[in-house]
A and B are shown apart, each in its own frame.
Chain A
Amino acid sequence: MSAPSLPDLAGHFGRYGGRFVPEALVRALDELDAAYRSAKTDPVFQAEFESLLVNYAGVPSLLYRAERLSAAVGAEILLKREDLNHTGAHKVRNVLGQALLAKRMGKPRVIAETGAGQHGVASATAAALLDLECVVYMGETDTERQALNVARMRMLGATVIPVTNGSRTLKDALNEALRDWVASVDSTHYLLGTAAGPHPFPEIVRDFVGGIGIEARAQCFELTGRLPDAVAACVGGGSNAIGIFHAFVPDESVELYGFEAGGDGVETGRHAASITGGSSGVLHGARTYVLQDDDGQTVESHSISAGLDYPGVGPEHAWLHDTGRATYEPVTDAEAMAAFHLLCRTEGIIPAIESAHALAGAARIAPRLRAELGRTPTIVVNLSGRGDKDVHTAGAYFGILDPVETIVPGEQE
């Protein structure tokens, strides 16, 4: 079942992955592939990456036994605290790796796509640190919804280009980044933000974020003396999920659960659940699961979580789904927000709404696992990011953004 040798040399995970790109990009992808192969076995590169992760990003992140949350959901919940990394999410691992790779390839400019702005901010961060020019494509709709992140990117020295084509969201930003890249490959590295896109991106991103699972596996042994019963992560493009899954794939006793954004519910059609609510197709350079209509036109996704609001998913997840090694389920906005609230109140941790999908999923599978195993199950949950960026959305959702009432002195309790 384990397949450390995937993808194959052409980037296929079974029938998924590969390269569905204009010929103009093939040479750049081949160069990237070659540069990555040599970096992968170069101790100097690996040491530099490791040093940035440890000394700059604050890795390894903690594996934290969340006791009050555990009691509330009826399972031993271990949180992989990627929210404590610099920039507040797992994404810093990927951007540091790719920015180093860009340097190694002698490319002075990086471009990135971003939805909510998290990957854009992470890219701008790595570019500032490593002295690279950075251009971020962001759907115009998203630049309006996420004005603070636009300001963050600019503060870090990046140029933000609002994309006005198509649905003006993440998928259009990705299209525009690809168009830029076709015209600028000589000087530019495309710093793709998730484990999707044409080969070799799914493999490169997986490897750069793969430390999450390697650390969590060792930390779980240390904490509990054994492997977990299940690992849970949210799935947008799939980077944090593949990052925590990969090290556990050979451990057959460990169930892998990916939770997609169910939006208003998969049955309503308003969701971002590419695997559980989509079908096999080709989007953004790879064959994978896609939200599409009967004609193969991409359908817009919907989720309260901007980071999960994407109509595709990385090809390795499509493969893990088809082989049955991992299980994917949708989590609705409402379920995710209930879990968001629960984590705030039981542990004093405000999670990213993306990560709240994984928490909700873990709470859902806990009784099932308990029945299966006849004991309290241990579930490692990837807390992929912190919720500071989501305070506005969550505040509006819970109706707590009303102006604070003037407190008259003396009337306080």
Chain B
Amino acid sequence: MSIADVFAKAKAENRSVLIGCMPAGFPTVEDSIASMIAMHEAGCDVIEVELPYSDPVMDGPVIQKASDIALAAGVRTRDTLKIIEAVARTGAPVVLMTYWNPIEKYGVNAFARDLAAAGATGMITPDLIPDEAAEWIAASDEHRIDRTFLVSPSSTDERIAMTVAQCRGFVYATALMGVTGARTSVSSQAPELVDRVRHADPHMPVGVGLGVGNGAQAAEVAGFADGVIVGSALIRSVLEAPDRATGLSRLRTLSAELAEGVRNPRN
């Protein structure tokens, strides 16, 4: 299913899309595949695979730690592609979240080609802004990968319009000025940012991420956004579990709670 279809289906059901993030290869390649499949089975509509990177400036401590663990275990870019392939084969819609340097190093066009072949539908680029993305825009057009750029509360209306115009699939609205990581409450800046995106393009689905960690917060964000993006809280259930089985079971429980949340939007 394409990302556009996922959002259309959720909209028809009067709910938001749940996008769950997990670093590739954390804590091992096999375990990360199992985590992602469990997340999908338990209610994550879209699996966001994060490519582990040595210098993740948009990420808070949880994702940094998980990425470090994956890298220390020797995960490579080609492993991430294999993981995407394994997860996409189960029917889960997969998008990749990646910092730019690993893609530039792989070769931008070659990566778009291999990402499409692995079955991913889209790619989120946290440190690539449309201003620098000419090569990526051409490659993603050629290989039909959806492009998700970020907008932020600090973005001007002009930049929001420019950015949304370059997105396909959905746009990622960062709910607050900060890095990834669960917060105790949903940012008050998020609804206004979503409004501003809708003003620029009423049809572009908006996913909101940064700081969402439980069912109640998911329900709150579902009240104003098309998609709810959750990373650190899910990853923490694996990171802090005493063993793999407990980790997987906590991951399922939290995914189900979040899935329940996006089905009960609070307006």
Contact = CB atoms under 8 A, between A and B. Distances in A.
A175 B104 contact: no
10 contacts: A22-B57, A23-B149, A25-B154, A27-B159, A165-B65, A175-B56, A183-B178, A185-B177, A298-B54, A298-B55
A112 to B, nearest CB: 16
Shortest 4 CB-CB distances between A and B: which pairs? A296-B105, A24-B152, A296-B102, A183-B178
Given A165-B64, A182-B179, A22 B127 contact: yes
Given A281-B101, A296-B106, A21 B154 contact: no
B132 A19 contact: yes
B53 interface: yes
B101 A292 contact: yes
B91 interface: no
Interface stretch (A100-108, A114-122, A282-290): A282-290
B178 A182 contact: yes
A178 interface: yes
B99 to A, nearest CB: 8
A402 B129 CA distance: 55
Contacts of B152: 22-24, 26
Contacts of A287: 104
Interface in B42-92: 53-58, 60-61, 64-65, 68, 71, 76-77
SS class of chain A's interface: helix, strand, loop or mixed? Answer: mixed
Given A18-B132, A22-B150, A282-B100, 9 more contacts: A21-B57, A22-B57, A23-B150, A23-B163, A24-B153, A26-B155, A179-B57, A179-B178, A182-B178
Contacts of B127: 20-22, 282, 285
A236 B150 CA distance: 32
Contacts of B178: 179, 182-183
B128 interface: yes
Contacts of B150: 22-24
B5 interface: no
B53 A23 contact: no
Identify which of A179, A294, A298 gathers the most chain B CB atoms within 10 Å of its CB. Answer: A179
Interface residues of A, number: 37
B64 A282 contact: no
Interface in A158-198: 165-166, 171-172, 175, 178-179, 182-186
B57 A166 contact: no
Contacts of B100: 20, 282
B177 A10 contact: no
Interface in A268-300: 281-285, 287, 290, 292, 294-298
A43 B156 CA distance: 30
Contacts of B232: none
A288 to B, nearest CB: 11
Nearest to B60: A179
B58 A182 contact: yes
Nearest to B210: A24
A27 B104 CA distance: 25
Given A22-B126, A23-B174, A282-B100, A10 B131 contact: yes
Contacts of B159: 23, 26-27
A171 B155 contact: no
Nearest to B76: A295
Contact of A175 (B55, B77, B132): B55
A212 B67 CA distance: 42
Contacts of B71: 297
Contact of B155 (A18, A27, A166, A284): A27
Interface string B140-183: 00000000011111111001000100000000001011110000
Interface in A132-171: 165-166, 171
Contacts of A165: 61, 64-65, 68
Nearest to A167: B54
B101 A23 contact: no
A28 interface: yes
A28 B151 CA distance: 14
Contacts of A24: 150, 152-155, 174, 177
A113 to B, nearest CB: 12
B129 A19 contact: yes
A283 B152 CA distance: 21
A291 to B, nearest CB: 11
